[in-house]
Every structure is written in C-alpha cells, then in structure tokens.
C-alpha cells in the first residue's frame, strides 16, 4: 500500500433532521439535532483510515471545543494529524446541515479556520505532500491555495484526485496537474452548464469537462445509478447499489476515500470504482458524516454478501 495525503476542510457538522425543507419565510418543526465531525477533507481522510490506508490529514482548525472532537475522530480512524495547523484568530469550520425524510441534504458552510489554509502553510508541508503517492483535494479551502499547491507539486507524484465540491469555477486551479476529477451529476452540471439527467447527457458533459480541464479522466458520481467514467478512450457506467437511504451526507467522501485506498493497493481504476460504489452505498444507510463512513470489515462483508 502506498501513502495517501488529504488536504482540505475540517468542520463541525450541526445536523437538523426534518420532514421537508422549509420554503423561504416558512418555519418548520424539526425532528432532531445532532453534532458530528465532518468537512469534506476530514471525511475523506477518515474514509481512508477506516479502510486501513496509510493516510495523513492536512488542513486547519481553531483552538476551540470543536477541534478536539475532530482530532479524536481522525485519530480513532488511524489518520495522521501531526501537520495540522491551529489558528488562534479563527474558529473551527462549521457546516449547518438539513436532512429531509428522504435522506437528501442541504448544507451551509462557515469556513472559519479552513480559510486560513494559505500558500505559507503549503510551503511548510510540501515536502511531506511530495512523499505521498495519492493526494485528495476538495474545494472547501481557498482555491488560490489549491492552485498554488498544484503548481508546486512534482510533475509525476503524487497523483491528484480532485472532488470539485462545492461546485465553483476552476479557473484558479492548475487542473492539468489533476489526474482524476470526481463531480456528482449536480456538480458536473454546474461546472459545464450542460444537462446531466441521462447517461448520454452525463457522457457529453464528462467529455466537455475533461477537455476543458486537461485532466486524465472524469468520474461522475451518480448515487444509486452508480458512476460514469470518461477516460478519453471510452465512456463506461459502473452500476450502483440499491439501498435504503437515511442520509446522503459524506457519501461522496466515502466514495473518494475508498477509490484512493483501492488505487493505493495497486488495483485498477475499474476495480477501485467498484469498491467506491459499495462504500458510498454503505455510507447513506447511516446518519451523520464521519460516523457513517464504513470500516473495512463492513465493506468487505457488504461486497461479498
């Protein structure tokens, strides 16, 4: 197994369960409230750690009560945390998450310390990032910092997997240095302006995104419809799993984490996508972000069931 690095956000997730989302100006009675450890970066690191990968987390936290819980979650999942930045003048990042009866979610993020992941921090941790074979990135830290990082990396290592969430223009990024980009169908639509309701539409949008960004391949995550891969040679669908969805929070992070772990074990991209689809399916069957991410034994049992 080769080492994985994750650079991205760490958030305290404040989750409200409700029957349906309120319309503008409407007040609804919610069913429950809970606090979980989250942030797309930390979620993906925990997803890797729970699948027994050699993984380290890079990002920033505030010096508050939320940070201790996030550290505990990472460390309990065997994620390296020795190079995290602690900010005296910013709170830990926070996500306010609404979840409806069908398991769909709506999220508002307060960046906090995540906004302090700056080029100076990249300079400090770059030697260790260069030692990784795989690097997972998302868009919850400043894009200018991610662009700086991509330009400082060696040409061939690590291979970069970019999760373009939350979806936003990628102009500031040196996307030619990205090996694989993994939008879901909504993010793919936002990035290309094209419809993504059908496989044919996803195929066309993936091709457009691949050509515009210069990445090696585009992998669209489509929930129960599985995943769609465009690597410039062919377009292929990898069927998903039909499961009872409780909460879709972190399903994409479970997918990306499992994908990186399988690739770090020397599996082919197609084999890795099969494992990633299973991890995403397992994740939506439980509430919360990091607490819903599957452990290796559970994933193996699900695959061989």
User: CA 225, 53, 129: angle at the middle one, nearest 5?
Assistant: 100
DSSP strand pairing (93-99 vs 105-110): antiparallel
Catalytically annotated residues: 253
Q: How far apart are CA 210 and CA 204, in angstroms?
A: 10
**In contact, 212 and 250? CB cutoff 8 Å:** no
- φ, ψ of residue 61 to 5 degrees: the values are -130, 155
Q: How many CB atoms lie within 10 A of CB 35?
A: 13
Q: How far apart are CA 139 and CA 131, in angstroms?
A: 22
User: CA 121, 147, 96: angle at the middle one, nearest 5?
Assistant: 75
Q: Bin 120: left if φ > 0, else alpha if -120 < ψ < 50, else beta.
A: alpha
């Amino acid at each position: 197994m080769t080492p994985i690095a994750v650079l991205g956000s760490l958030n305290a997730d404040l989750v409200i369960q409700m029957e349906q989302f309120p319309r503008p100006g409407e007040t609804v009675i919610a069913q429950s409230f809970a606090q979980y450890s989250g942030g797309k970066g930390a979620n993906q690191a925990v997803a890797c750690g729970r699948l027994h990968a050699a993984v380290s987390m890079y990002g920033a936290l505030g010096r508050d009560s939320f940070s201790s819980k996030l550290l505990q979650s990472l460390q309990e999942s065997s994620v390296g945390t020795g190079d995290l930045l602690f900010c005296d003048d910013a709170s830990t990042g926070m996500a306010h998450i609404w979840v409806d009866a069908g398991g769909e979610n709506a999220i508002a993020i307060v960046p906090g310390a995540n906004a302090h992941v700056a080029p100076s921090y990249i300079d400090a941790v770059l030697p260790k990032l260069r030692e990784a074979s795989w690097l997972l990135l998302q868009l919850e830290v400043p894009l200018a910092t991610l662009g700086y990082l991509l330009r400082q990396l060696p040409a061939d290592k690590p291979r970069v997997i970019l999760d373009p969430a939350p979806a936003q223009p990628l102009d500031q990024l040196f996307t030619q240095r990205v090996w694989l980009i993994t939008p879901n169908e909504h993010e793919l639509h936002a990035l290309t302006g094209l419809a993504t309701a059908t496989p044919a539409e996803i195929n066309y949008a993936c091709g457009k995104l691949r050509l515009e960004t210069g990445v090696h391949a585009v992998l669209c995550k489509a929930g129960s419809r599985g995943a769609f891969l465009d690597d410039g040679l062919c377009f292929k669908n990898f069927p998903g799993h039909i499961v009872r969805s409780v909460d879709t929070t972190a399903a994409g992070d479970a997918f990306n984490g499992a994908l990186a772990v399988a690739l770090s074990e020397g599996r082919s991209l197609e084999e890795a996508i099969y494992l990633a689809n299973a991890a995403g399916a397992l994740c939506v069957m439980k509430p919360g972000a990091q607490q819903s991410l599957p452990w290796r034994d559970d994933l193996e049992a699900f695959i061989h069931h």
